[in-house]
Each structure stands twice: as C-alpha cells, then as structure tokens.
Amino acid sequence: MTAADPSVMRWWGWGVDGHDPQLTPAVDAMLEATLGAPRGGLNPPVDEAEVALPDRPLPSHVTAALNDAVGDEHVRADHRTRLLRAAGKSYPDLVRLRAGDGSGAPDAVVLPGTSEEVAAVLAVCAEHGVAVVPFGGGTSVVGGVEALRGAHDHVIALDTRRLTRLIDADRTSRTATLEAGLTGPQAEAALAAFGLTLGHFPQSFEFSTVGGWVATRSAGQASTGVGRIDQLVLGLRAATPAGEVVARTVPASAAGPDVRQLLVGSEGTMGVITEATLKVRPAPEARAYEAFSVRSFAHGAEVLRALRQHDAAPDVLRLSDEAETQLSLAMAGTGRAQDALARYLRLRGHEGGCLIIAGWEGSAAAVRRRRLAARSVFVRHRALQLGTPAGKAWHHGRFGAPYLRDVLLDRRVMVDTLETATTWTDLERLKGAVTEAIAGTLAKRGTPAFVGCHVSHVYTSGASLYFTYAARQETGAELEQWRAVKAAASDAIVAGGGTITHHHGVGRDHAPWLAREAGGPALDALRAAKAAFDPAGIMNPGKLVDGTLTSAPPTEPSAQAQPA
Amino acid sequence: MTAADPSVMRWWGWGVDGHDPQLTPAVDAMLEATLGAPRGGLNPPVDEAEVALPDRPLPSHVTAALNDAVGDEHVRADHRTRLLRAAGKSYPDLVRLRAGDGSGAPDAVVLPGTSEEVAAVLAVCAEHGVAVVPFGGGTSVVGGVEALRGAHDHVIALDTRRLTRLIDADRTSRTATLEAGLTGPQAEAALAAFGLTLGHFPQSFEFSTVGGWVATRSAGQASTGVGRIDQLVLGLRAATPAGEVVARTVPASAAGPDVRQLLVGSEGTMGVITEATLKVRPAPEARAYEAFSVRSFAHGAEVLRALRQHDAAPDVLRLSDEAETQLSLAMAGTGRAQDALARYLRLRGHEGGCLIIAGWEGSAAAVRRRRLAARSVFVRHRALQLGTPAGKAWHHGRFGAPYLRDVLLDRRVMVDTLETATTWTDLERLKGAVTEAIAGTLAKRGTPAFVGCHVSHVYTSGASLYFTYAARQETGAELEQWRAVKAAASDAIVAGGGTITHHHGVGRDHAPWLAREAGGPALDALRAAKAAFDPAGIMNPGKLVDGTLTSAPPTEPSAQAQPA
C-alpha cells in the first residue's frame, strides 16, 4: 500500500500488514475448550500469483472506448489490480480467495476521475453490454462487490478512488459536499481543514468510502448520536445509465417520494453515487469514553432504552451480552489492571455480567452536560461505573476487530458476524431466536459454536443486534457450513420480525431474505425503478433485488477460471 | 357535521361554522390601503344545490361490484356526498366551488371499513378501469384530491373515514399502529388512553388524517422538536393494485432503498396507505409557550440557527418576518395589552421588528431544562423576551388561520400560501426572490399585494419558508391571476435552490416544478415504481409524477358538468 493507493487492503484478508492481534492464552484456551479448535495446523492463503481469475479480456474496441473515456492509464487489467477487486471481505469471500478462487474478479478495473468520466464509462458499458460493479473501499461483507456478470459477457469494476475532492464545506449550514471516493480518513482530513467533522465511523472507516457508505446505508459507531448515513444525506449526485440524478441539498421536503432514499441503499444497482452532500458538525473539542457494567443483557437493554427515551443517550452506546463480554475480558489478557477489574466485578456481584461502552464527542460544555445527564440515568438504573480505562481501550481498538478474523482463518476457525434491528419489545426474543439458530445449526454439524452479541445502535423504538460467531471449520465444506448458518440465522431474523440487515447491506447474501422482508409488490417496484435507471441491466447485476447467496449454484454464464 | 362525520368541512371553505374571525379595524384599513380592496361588496358562494357536478353515474355493474366489496350503504352518489369530495381546500379549489364549478367531483364515494375492503375496492376499480382518488380529510391545498379521471371514463373517491382503529400501542418501544382514517383529534384521543401522544399538529390537524399525513409528508407545528411525519414512520401497510405492501416496524434498516420512503409522499398515486406504525411519546405533563422579539428577519434567522445548532431548539419554533409580524399585531386588535406591547417594543427599539414563538411540551423536568437552555441562547443573541401571553395566544389560535381566508374570499380578496425550504446559507436570498416574484407579478397586474413570510420548521442545515400573500381579486380572471403568481413564485423557488414544497405536497399544482426539481431520470424511476404498483394507472391520476397545474387546460377527456 502506498499513500496514492490508500484503500487497497490485503487481497486475502482485512486491512494492511502489521495490525494482526496476538491471541492471549485465555482466548487460545477458549478456542480449544469451546470450539475444539486445536493450536497449530496453520492454513495460510495461497500465493497471490496462484489465484485463478476469469480469463475473459475485454474486447479491444471496448477497451479502446474506455481508454477514450478515462485515459489509458486508468483502465487496468493486470492480475493484481483485478485480484484486489475480486470480492469483498466477507467470510465466504476470504475462504474462497485464500484457497485460490478468484472467479469473482472483474475483466478490467476502470478508474474515472470525475463525475463526467463516470457517466462516460457507464455510456460505454451500456452501449457494449458490459456489467459494471461500482467499487469503493471493497469492504462489503455481504457479497456486494463481487464482479458478477448477470446476462453480460463482460464485467468491469468501476473504482471510485480518484473521486476525492471536497467540493464544498459550509460552516453556516453545517453541510459538506464530498466526492464518492474519499475514504474515511481522507474525508475527515479534508473536513478538519474547515474545523468540521462528519463523525461517521463504521468499523471499516479506514478503508471504506463516502460513496460506499451512502450506497449501503452505513451506520457508524457514533450513529446513536450523530445519525446513520441515510439521516445525514441532504443531497446527492449519481450517474445512471439513464442520465444524471441530482437531488438538491434541502433540509427537508414534501416533494413526493424521496428520491434520495431510493438511491441511498441502492448498492450500485441503479447507478454510481458520485457526490453526496452530508450534514457535518464542528470538529469535537472534547471526547470522553467510559465503561459500565450491568448484571445481564436484559438489565443493559433497560439502561440503553432509558438513556435514549430520556434524551440522554451518548453518541457511542454499546452493550455486549454475557458471552461477548467474557470474550472481551479474555482478549484483554491478564495483568494488574485486568485482575483488579475482575476482582471489582466479583465483589460487586457483576461476575458474568455485561459491559456497556459509552462515548461522547463535541464541545467541552456539551460533553460535560450530556455525560452528567447520562450518568444520572446509569446510576438510577444501577449500572456500575467502571471508569474511563475500559472505555478508552475500546476507542483505541475500535477498528481492529476484523484483523482477528484473519488470525482465526489461519487457524481453520470460521468466524462471521451478522446483524439486525428490532423494537425494544422484541429485542430479547429475537436475540434468543437468532442465537439459537446459529448455535443449533453448528452443534448439529458437530462444530460447536461460540455465539456472542452486542447492541451498537440505540433508537427510541428499538436497537440493533450484532452477532459474532465462531466454530471449527469443516475442512472441505467451509462454504456449505457457512451457508447453513447464514440461512438459519436469516430465517430466524425474518421470522422474528427483524430486518435482514441493520448496516451491512443486502448484496448477494441477504437478497433472498430481502425478498421475504419486503414482499413481492415492493420488490417489483424497486426492480422497476432500477430498470428505469438502468435499462440494459448493467449495474451491479446479481445483487440486492436480483441477488442469490454467495457461492450458491450459479445462474449466470460460468466464467473460465484460470491461474494467471 | 355530526360526531359520526367528523372530518367533513364546509363544501365552500375551511372547517365548520362558528369559527370565522372578525376583521379588526386595523386589518380593514390595511386591506383598503395596501390592496385597494374596498369594504362591502360581498361575494358569497352559490347555493349548494347549484354547484354543477359531472353527470357520469358509474355503470350499474361497477356499482354492484363495489356494493359487494364494502356494502351498499358505503357506496354513495348523492349530490352532497360527491360535492364534499370535489376538491381540496386550495385557493383555486375554493374559487371554483364558490362559483358553482364542481367539475372535480367523483362519480361516487366509496367508504371501505377495513384494509381488506380497501384492497377489494382497488381490485374492482382495476378490473373495470375506474380511477381511484384516496380521500382522507380533504384538506389538500395543492389539488391533491380533485377527482381527475386520467385515461379512465369514471372516477371514485375512496374515503378512508371508516378506518379508525388504533391497532396497537406499545409504551415500551414508543410505537403505535394507527389506521389511516383517524383524524388528528381521533388519533390523539385514542393514544391518550394509553398515556401517549403522536405530537403531530399540522394546521389542518382537526380534519386531516393519519393516512393523509403519511401520504403527503406532512410536517406539524411541533415538528422541529418531534420530527416530520416521514421521520416518525417506522412501518406501514398499503393496498396497491399489485397487492399489499407491508413494511415491517423496525427502528432502522440497511435492507436496500427504503420502501417506506417510496410510499411516504406518494400521495395516493401508488396505493392507499391503510395503516402506519409511528413513533409516539408520553403525553406531555407540561407545556410552555412564549414569545420573543428580534430586530429583523435576518437577526431572527441567526437566533433560530443558533438554537438548533446548539441543540437547544424548542419543539415549536417560528419566526415571522416584518410584514407578517405587522399583520399579526394588527389582527390582535387594540386594547390595553396590545398597546402596552407596542409601547414596550418601541421603547426597546424593536418597532417594526419580528416576532418569534417558542413552545415546549413534555415532562415538567424536560420542559424546564430545555426552556432554560433555549432562553440562554435567546439572551445571548439579544432577542427580547415578551413573555407567555403572546405565546399562549398563538397556541390558542394555532389552527384558526384558514378561516380568515373564507372571510377574505367573501370580500373578493385573493389569499394564498406557499412554502419551501432551503439551507441557512441561502435562506434570505431565496426569501427575497420569492417575495419579489409574488409582489412583482401582482403589481404588474395592477393588484398590489401584501406578502408576508415565516419560518416554522428549523433544521441544523436550514429552515422552511412559508409565504402568505393577499391581493384584490381580478374579478372574472381569478384563476389566471392565481396561476400567474403560482408560476412566478414556483419558478423563483426552483431557480433559487429551494424545494417546491416543504410540507403541502405536490398534488397537481406543484407537479410541473417537481419535474424540474427532480429531473427526468428520477421522475422516470418514480413513474416506473408507480406503474409496478398500479399497472392500470387508476391511482390518483393527474397528480404528482403526472400532474398539471389546477385549472390548466385539461389534457383528459372533459367531463360533462351539469347542475344537480
């Protein structure tokens, strides 16, 4: 990775080298005892050159037209460039890539430098029947960026990384217009020059992009306070095969159905979001993070609900269930501070309880005022204050969790996450049903699971539920094992009244359940809107309204996969 | 009007008898001096029986099928029932009705009692090619409920007034599921039994319905604090000709484009919203309203922006410009209190300034805390506290303004309102441009105008602008005069970066400018979605994506209008 190439991650895993965590002896022991996953037995990825990519070079007249649109140096078809856009970062994506299966790679990668060049690329692709997969940070964990061809012979990845301008920053109206390809750090750096922040910090923040956030209805770690990206979008600009859509920047409107909310979450299936005008706020003067303990998940949910419904919620507000709390404590390792914490929790009858992280950012006065208001709710609800060290530790490591997966994959441990949201009334019932679906499915397959859960986004009417599970891989049947869990968990979510995704998006992997959640008439209307924007069906085929589960039996013309 | 028929207003004007205001001598003098509108010369509406309605009875087999669907007594075609659904309550609607033009009346009025009956009515109408106009309170001021036929020979009004159940009230999750036909007072009464409130108070509150609010993206007077209806919708149920849409109740979702936000604001063109699950809150224990004075509109806008951006905005927050403030003071008449206020404003150098109304509702503690926070911003920005009487007076009369129009129409005075929203940065520029467009157009026609403006909804990024204008009617050319103003004002709004409507909706009257605001590809996508829900094109034709200005040259088969 170079500074000019900021958001390219390791092709076989998350992030960049040098951040992999060391497993503590306690975690090692848990892996062995709970999952039956022995130490040693490393299973590294194949060599980069050995990954088989489809051998389907673009016809030369298409390449020539693309060269005309964006310049020769921005149309690339070398092995590494294609490999890096072969998939997102889901568990099945990494399983396949690590094993040398790069069948999801595009035939070429095109990097337009302006909104106009994006439109020109779409025009070439519509004319020649080439599928287009918009590609931002490539951090999708739902199969959103795999280069499927749909009904077309060829497919390109349209990489937005050259669209990195801050077009406008308005301190009076607290808005900023950002180009789609800005990564989190790039966007924040550009805004910081104006004393502003977007405050949107998904776990993928270091790599994911403004356009990707808007296209997938991203939620950030501080969205309880700052709002989800769909609540921050005031205006946008999108290139579609049918022409450009410009949704003007207004604070609110009654001018018919909201076209913004039709493109927000459209995941590249209707067009390419090239600019978004987002709500921003003054860069924070002050920042405070602290931890609390509650006796149980149910107790914690009551505390979170009270905070939100009494207008006293912190910006960041997270509750880990008993299992996830235990894992977090094990991950923290041993030492004087850890031992003291354990003793304190035991002494106060909170052994086996649950951890809450609360965080505030803003002006010093606002942080002080809001923290006092929240603390009074915590105290009233008998949450135990654990002070700032655990809160700071969370803040320090808040983008690091995905690296753990790579370490576990090396060790033939399956690990995945999935998420939903529901009302407070249904929260515990749904949590129980999904946990049981995951654990039951894996137990039946002879690979007993760890299943933990946390709440990371808190609303007046309900909250998100984010599940993390791990089990020993079924060697040779890794994808079947994963599909079985995915189906069971998703069935439980949809049957239990949740939404199939609270912030990961739909992609391929949630598409079958989106159909059940939304129902036929609604899905048909979305398909009709897509067809209006994209008459030739070139935009990100096989996703969202037309998706099938990753590595499900293919329904498209199969590509010839060959080693480079 | 009877209790069983709660939301039927006077066919020729607003509301019910007994609420018409008396013009004060000061207002009388303003009308004469500013508008050249002489006293006397009353122009009352024609007799009810003289209003000409289309003579197009439904074919008997269609009536029979509708009778089967909802019961004979709920399919009505008498003169009065049809007349009451002939139009909404816009200025051109009332001009036409008062003159005896009921050409917008439906051929019959159908009143289904359940969601299933709504679906059955749509099935009958789709089969027989009958246009359907969903009708709630009939308070549209943008031509939203006029019974246009589109490509069809016949049209019915589908009146939702029998859909009045509170289906669910959940105090834990603060949600309530309400049927579409509940009027404001009915909805609040049903919720009050559970100690809850929706807190949505548009000026039409006494007559408009839950379904109408959701279908038109309504904003209430307290929406600065409580949120617009589109922000309160968590789930909904809609009958469409293609089948039922059920958007489940979840606090947030990343499951693709938001189908809720495609139906919210669809104004009956995609289907009939039959139920909505909305955010609710505990019924307020306490309520406080007070008034402040600022030296100018620009000064007031700074105060409002500071309140909102410092997280200290009241629930109700309104700023009248200089012209509207002067009118309000004139409307209040004379007396000891009024004189004292005028003296005080003069003494403090605020003569000719602007009035701000601020209101808080909620728990006693929250009202106290929030009021203190807001007051410190008011004081810091040198707004002058005027105390509670003027605030209470506003609250007392908050639904009364539309009655004034009827009194003025009697006197051949044209009066209309229109609204937009934009960013803080553009607020004054747009206000000036729209004011100039209205005043200039009317001056050129020889009917000099009063133009006032207020801000009633305040966002971090901007605010609404609500214009009220009045002028002497051009007798015999009332609609041409109105169309000229509408076009000039709307052109100024769209050219100036505003939205064509902040809370009145699109209907017929804003449709030409929606097309310009949204642009071709976005409008085509909305049309495609409509066609998916409504393949036969029966749902509220001639509105929203297919609308033309009220009383513009008709493009549809002209109806034979005959006196009853």
**Per-residue model confidence as pLDDT tens digits over A168-190:** 999 999 999 999 999 999 999 99
* C-alpha separations of A348 from A340, A353, A545, B67 in Å: 12, 10, 51, 69
β-pairing, B354-362 with B316-320? antiparallel
Cα distance from N-terminal residue to C-terminal residue, chain A: 22
More confident residue, A552 or B430: B430
Section B290-302 average pLDDT: 97
Q: Which of A14-28, A484-498, B400-414 has the highest mean pLDDT?
A: A484-498
- Output the six-digit token pair for B475: 């007798």
CATH of A166-239+246-282, one of 3.30.465.10, 1.10.287.130, 3.40.1190.10, 3.40.50.300: 3.30.465.10
- Residue B18 neighbours by CB under 8 Å, 6+ apart: none
DSSP A208: -
User: From the list B366, B461, B519, which residue is nearest A174 (CB)?
Assistant: B461
Residues with Cβ within 8 Å of B46's Cβ and at least 6 positions away in sequence, in order, are B98, B99, B100
What class does CATH assign to B49-162+527-563? alpha beta
Over the Cα atoms of chain A, what is R_g? 23
Task: Identify whether the C-beta of residue A362 lies closer than 8 Å to the C-beta of residue A326.
Answer: no
Mean pLDDT score of chain A, rounded to an integer?
A: 94
Query: B402-504 adopts what CATH topology?
Result: GMP Synthetase; Chain A, domain 3 (3.30.300)
Q: Cα–Cα distance between A458 and A180 in angstroms, integer?
A: 27
Transcribe B451-476 into DSSP letters. EEEEE--B-SSEEEEEEEEEEE--TT
- What sign does the dihedral A551-A553-A556-A561 (CA atoms) show? positive
Nearest to A104 by CA among A92, A118, A112: A92
Helix (H) or strand (E) run with residue B212 in it: helix B210-216
| Residue B21 buriedness (CB in 10 A; 0-12 / 13-18 / 19+) | middle
Cα–Cα distance for residue pair B66/B125, rounded to 1 Å: 8
Hey, what amino acid is at B344?
Y
Backbone angles phi, psi at A132, to 5 degrees: -125, 125
Which of A27-36, A173-182, A478-487, B35-44 has the lowest average pLDDT?
B35-44
Mutate one of A423, A457, A533 to test the B interface: name it (highest B CB count within 10 A): A423
DSSP output for B249-263: --S---SSS-SHHHH
Chain A contact for B236 (CB, 8 A cutoff): no
User: Do the Cβ atoms of A100 and A555 come closer than 8 Å?
Assistant: no
Share of chain A above pLDDT 70, in %: 96
**Which chain A residues have a beta carbon less than 8 Å from that of B421?**
250-253
Chain A to chain B Cβ contacts (< 8 Å): 280
Chain Cα centroid distance, residue B282: 26
Predicted confidence band at B26 (pLDDT cuts at 50, 70, 90)?
Answer: confident
- Helix orientation angle between B478-495 and B91-98, rounded to the nearest 10 degrees: 170
Looking at the complex, report in whole angstroms how far the Cα of residue B534 sits from the nearest Cα belonging to chain A.
Answer: 10
pLDDT, position A556: 40
Distance CA A122, CA A271 (A): 9
Task: Look up residue B73 and give its DSSP letter.
Answer: G
Three-state DSSP at B126 gives helix
Of A250, A461, A519, the CB nearest to B175: A461
Q: Determine, for residues A265 and B258 on separate chains, whether the beta-carbon distance falls below 8 Å.
A: yes
Chain A (167-226) residues lying within 8 Å, Cβ to Cβ, of chain B: 170, 172-175, 216-219
Q: Tell me the pLDDT band of A336, cut-offs 50, 70 and 90.
A: confident
Distance from CA of B564 to the nearest CA of A (A): 36
> Does residue B83 contact residue B11 with C-beta atoms inside 8 Å?
yes
Q: Are B7 and B139 in contact (CB under 8 A)?
A: no
Q: Out of B245, B461, B501, name the one closest to residue A521 (CB).
A: B245
User: How large is the average pLDDT for residues B205-214?
Assistant: 97
Min Cα separation A429/chain B (Å): 14
Taking contacts as CB-CB distances below 8 angstroms, the residues of chain A near B270 are: 257, 525
**pLDDT of res. B550:** 61
More confident residue, A466 or B338: A466
Least confident of A25-29, A373-377, B284-288, B527-531: A25-29
Q: Does A406 touch chain B (CB under 8 A)?
A: no
Q: How many CB atoms lie within 10 A of CB B78?
A: 10
Position B49, amino acid: A
Does residue A354 contact residue A299 with C-beta atoms inside 8 Å?
Answer: yes
- According to the model, what pLDDT value does residue B559 have? 43
- Adjacency order of strands within the sheet including B316-320: B384-387, B286-294, B354-362, B316-320, B449-455, B462-472, B413-423
HEC profile for A133-149?
Answer: EEECCCCCCCCCCCCCC
Which of 3.40.462.40, 3.40.50.720, 3.20.20.70, 3.30.1540.20 is the CATH number of B286-398?
Answer: 3.40.462.40
Q: What are phi and psi of A375, to 5 degrees?
A: -60, -35
Give the model's pLDDT for residue B555. 40
Q: How far is CA B175 from the centre of its chain?
A: 24
Q: Do A255 and B506 touch (CB under 8 A)?
A: yes
Cα B540 to Cα B547: distance, rounded to the nearest angstrom: 10
Longest dimension (CA), chain B: 74
CATH 3.50.30.20 matches A51-162+527-557? no
Question: Regarding beta strands B154-159 and B130-135, do their DSSP bridges make them parallel or antiparallel, or are they unpaired?
Answer: parallel
Domain-wise residue ranges, chain A: 51-162+527-557, 166-239+246-282, 286-398
pLDDT for the residue B489:
98
Strand partners, B98: none
Cβ-nearest to B424 among A173, A514, A531: A173
Residues B218-277: pLDDT tens digits? 999 999 999 999 999 999 999 999 999 999 999 999 999 999 999 999 999 999 999 999
Range A500-528 average pLDDT:
95
- Span of A258-267, A452-461, B29-38, B109-118 with lowest mean pLDDT: B29-38
CATH number listed for the domain at residues B166-282: 3.30.465.10
Give the per-residue pLDDT at B557. Answer: 37
Residues A83/A87/A89/A95 CA torsion (nearest 10 deg): -80
pLDDT value for B7: 54
In a 13 Å sphere around the CA of A535, the CA atoms on its Cβ side amount to 8
The dihedral built from the CA positions of residue A219, A223, A224 and A227, taken in this order, carries a sign that is negative
pTM over 0.90, yes/no? yes
Helix, strand, coil percentages, rounded to 5, for chain A:
40, 20, 40
Per-residue pLDDT of B150-167, as tens digits, reads 999 999 999 999 999 999
Which of these ranges, A408-417, A453-462, A553-562, B285-294, has the smallest mean pLDDT? Answer: A553-562
Interface test with A, best of B141, B246, B259, B533 (most A CBs within 10 A): B259
Of the listed A91, A403, A459, A466, which one is catalytic? A466
Please name the member of B255, B506, B510 whose beta carbon is closest to the beta carbon of A517. Answer: B255
Residue pLDDT, tens place only, B126-135: 999 999 999 9
DSSP tag of A57:
P
Name residue, tokens 């979450």: A265
Contact B514 A256 (CB under 8 A): yes
Summarize pLDDT for B40-93 with one digit per residue, the tens: 768 899 999 999 999 999 999 999 999 999 999 999 999 999 999 999 999 999
Q: What distance in Å separates the CA atoms of residue A452 and residue A353, rounded to the nearest whole number?
A: 13
**Which ipTM value was assigned to this complex?**
0.95
**Beta strands at A462-472 and B272-279: parallel, antiparallel or unpaired:** unpaired
Residue B502: strand pairing partners: none
The pLDDT assigned to B558 comes to 39
Please check the confidence at residue A561 and state whether its pLDDT lies above 90. no
In this structure, how many other beta carbons lie within 10 angstroms of the beta carbon of residue B332?
A: 18
How many whole angstroms separate alpha carbon A431 and alpha carbon A420?
A: 9
**How far apart are the C-alpha atoms of A467 and B374, rounded to whole Å?**
41
Percentage of chain B lying above the pLDDT 70 cut: 96
* Stated length of chain A: 564
User: Is the alpha carbon torsion for A28, A32, A36, A42 positive or negative?
Assistant: positive
Which band of pLDDT confidence, cut at 50, 70 and 90, is reported for residue A290? very high
Q: Is A532 on the interface with B (CB under 8 A)?
A: yes
CA distances from A15 to A90, A139, A393, A404, B71 (A): 13, 9, 20, 11, 65
Extended beta strands in B73-202, E state: 75-76, 108-110, 130-135, 154-159, 166-170, 175-179, 196-197
* Distance in angstroms (rounded) separating the CA atoms of residues A410 and A407: 5
- Beta strand residue intervals within A151-285, DSSP E: 154-159, 166-170, 175-179, 196-197, 233-240, 243-247, 272-279, 281-282
- Compute the residue count for chain B: 564
pLDDT at B38 (0 to 100): 79
pLDDT band at A551 (very low <50, low <70, confident <90, very high): low
Mutate to test the interface with A, among B139, B168, B171, B173 (most CBs of A within 10 A): B173
Q: Are strands B272-279 and B233-240 parallel, antiparallel or unpaired?
A: antiparallel
B5 pLDDT tier (thresholds 50, 70, 90): low
Q: Provide the CA A301 distance to its chain's centre, in angstroms.
A: 24
Token output for A467: 């599940």
d(CA B338, CA A266): 56
Structure confidence at residue A41 (pLDDT): 66
Residue listed under structure tokens 């390419």: A272
Residues from chain A contacting residue B422 (CB–CB below 8 Å): 250-251
Amino acid, single-letter form, for residue B1 = M
